[in-house]
């Protein structure tokens, strides 16, 4: 049902208004997300018709910030334990 609703959205917007997608899945894996290969083909047909694909590789900014936060938190904990032992 989700694939059908998404198709309806794309079909209504097709050639009328710009649409920006972000996804962590390549187009080749959309059939695993939506399960209905026919609807996925119809969605991709419309989405890719007039599109420009920008493929960005690299670590997520949110993940990068979280790792830095956890590193700082661990440093604070380590510093506290070092002071208690001294």
> pLDDT (tens digit, 9 = 90+) per residue, 15-38?
999 999 888 888 999 988 888 899
Q: Give the tokens for residue 16.
A: 């009328």
Once rounded to an integer, what is the mean pLDDT over residues 1-6? 89
Question: Contact at 8 Å (CB) between 6 and 42?
Answer: no
Q: Give the tokens for residue 2.
A: 């989700």
Q: 41-66: per-residue pLDDT in tens? A: 999 999 999 999 998 888 787 888 88
Contacts of 31 by beta carbon, 8 Å cutoff, 6+ apart: 37, 40
Once rounded to an integer, what is the mean pLDDT over residues 3-18? 93
Please give the pLDDT value at position 86: 58
């Amino acid at each position: 049902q989700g694939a059908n609703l998404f198709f309806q959205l794309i079909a209504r917007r097709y050639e009328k208004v710009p649409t920006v997608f972000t996804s962590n899945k390549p187009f080749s894996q959309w059939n695993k997300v939506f399960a209905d290969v026919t609807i996925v083909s119809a969605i991709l047909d419309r989405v890719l018709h007039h599109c420009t694909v920008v493929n960005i590789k690299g670590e997520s900014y949110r993940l990068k910030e979280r790792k830095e936060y956890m590193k700082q938190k661990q440093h604070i904990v380590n510093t506290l334990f070092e002071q208690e032992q001294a």
